[in-house]
Structure 1
Amino acid sequence: MLFNLVELIRGKLMPAEGSAAMGLLYAGGVLLCIAVGYLFGSLNPAVLVARVGFREDIKRAGHGNAEATDIASAYGRKAGIITAILNFGKGVAASLCGLLIWEMNGLALGGLFALLGTMFPCFNRFRGGRGAEVMAGMILAVSVLTTGFPIVFLLLLLIFLIVIIGTRFLSLGVIMVGVFYPLILRGFSGAQAGLCLACAVLTTLFVVARHWDCMQRIWNRKEPQLKFPWNKKKED
């Protein structure tokens, strides 16, 4: 059995079922999972990459709460990949911290609020990114711990690749992952996913809302498209 902070405290204090003390303990567990996840999400790896790798203050450079794509444009592909990996790890770490606080309930809350912290970070006046890499890290953690295998993550990765290769819209790939996430999770984990499934539905809503401007640009044919090697050959 994994370490579980809430159950550990419950075992020490032994509050009666349905008592005010039990309610306070569970409320404290919820708040701690939310706080840890949100603070993880509010940390921006792009700031670290810019400062350590290029000795530059990313905010003064005009990139704000830059995402991996912005970092790649400013400092090169390698810096962008490092930023994306750190963001992915942030989603995994926040989910696992939540797991240690309150098992599957904490896993769900930690991951969701890491995503919200990335979108609305307290360290940057609540102006953040779209959270694609953090969502991917959260999905990997939830997939492994609810089904015992990263099947949900792998299927969503396949959907993502099919969409971006077929349409060349990176944002559309992220949106489709958000939309299919709760459906695939429900299919492979069943009702036992519990709060993870509820948080997956909320993930869909926040991802779609955060990408609403991208959807409008796609509809108006103004969204930039990716350029793959085979596309470049056709253009030449």
Structure 2
Amino acid sequence: MVIFAYLCGSLSGAMIVSQLMHLPNPREHGSHNPGATNMLRVGGVLAGLLVLVFDILKGMIPVWLAYRMGISPFFLGIIAIAACLGHIYPCFFHFQGGKGVATAFGSMAAIGWDFAGVFSLTWLLALFISGYSSVGAIISFILAPLYVWFFKPELTMPVAMLSCLILARHSSNIQRLFRGQESKIWKKKR
């Protein structure tokens, strides 16, 4: 399941959607990140949504299958991390991937819709208040272990491990936020 999760994660939704829709290569435009936020900037709303759904599913499917097979919570966390590592370091795309936010969300959404709803609401609130996709991700993943503790406490440790991976991937975003150099998801017109 770990290998399957990594291979699922290695399928880049941004690269596949950009090729199917004849859009610019997301690794050469925008933030150069092959993720949903950059595809929103490069290809528009439809491209961004398609990549978001694709990246969520490639995290959700392996973890959900493992969960249905009765794999222990610790190894569910390892499988989720493998899917995210596939997204971050995809073997099919020269080990140059995205931040892993949507894939991590998909991995955790397999826990249950109650958790996924609270997590999504937190991300949307932080995004709309700040205007930064990275702030939404950072705040959501900081709070994710606390949220999962309320719904399924046995999965707190795997979610905490996954959150640490995503937060570490956002270290450059955190530095840009402190320097005032991070790009907002939408720009205000003057």
Task: Give your verdict on TM over 0.5.
Answer: yes
- Indicate whether 1:226 and 2:185 are aligned: yes
Separation in structure 2 between the aligned mates of residue 92 and residue 117 of structure 1, nearest angstrom: 13
Aligned-pair distance for 1:57? 8.3
Residue aligning to 1:50: 18
Mapping 1:171-182, distance limit 5 Å? 171-182=134-145
1:1-236 matched pairs, under 5 angstroms = 33-54=1-22, 58=25, 62=28, 66-105=34-73, 107-142=76-111, 144=112, 150-190=113-153, 193=154, 196-227=155-186, 232=188
Deviation at 1:211, TM superposition (A): 0.4
Point out the structure with max Rg over C-alpha.
1
Tell me the distance in 2 between the aligned counterparts of 1:45 and 1:118.
Answer: 9
Matched residue type, 1:123: F
SS for the counterpart of 2:71 is helix
Alpha-carbon distance change, 62 to 48 in structure 1, aligned in 2, over 3 angstroms? same
Check the 8 A contact 1:41/1:117 in 2, yes or no. yes
1:103 match: secondary structure: coil
Give me the whole-angstrom Cα distance separating, in 1, the residues matched to 2:99 and 2:116. 19
Distance (Å, rounded) in 2 between the aligned partners of 1:162 and 1:57: 30
TM norm structure 1: 0.70
Q: Partner of 2:183: helix, strand, or coil?
A: coil
Indicate how the Cα distance of structure 1 residues 221 and 58 shifts in structure 2: closer, same or farther if over 3 A, else same.
closer
What is the rounded CA distance, in whole Å, between the counterparts of 2:24 and 2:72 in structure 1?
Answer: 38
Where does structure 2 lack aligned partners over 5 or more consecutive residues? none
Change (3 A) 1:65 1:123: farther
CA contact (8 A) 1:43 1:123 kept: yes
Would you say the 8 A contact 1:97–1:107 is kept in 2?
no
Higher relative contact order, chain-length normalized (CA < 8 Å, sep 6+): 2
More helix by share: 1
Give the Cα–Cα distance (whole angstroms) in 2 for the partners of residues 121 and 197 of structure 1. 27
Structure 1 position 160, deviation (Å):
1.2
CA RMSD of aligned residues (A): 2.4
Contact 1:98–1:111 (CA under 8 A) maintained in structure 2: no
Name the CA distance, whole Å, in 1 between partners of 2:135 and 2:176.
11
Measured against aligned partners, the alpha-carbon deviations of 1:73-108 in whole angstroms (never above 9, x if no partner) come to 333321121111111111111212323554344543
> Once the two structures are aligned, what percentage of the paired residues are identical?
24
Structure 1 stretch displaced more, 78-87 or 89-98: 89-98
Task: State the AA in 1 paired with 2:48.
Answer: G
The question of whether the paired residues in 2 share the 8 Å contact of 1:37 and 1:98 is answered with no
Count residues with an aligned counterpart. Answer: 187
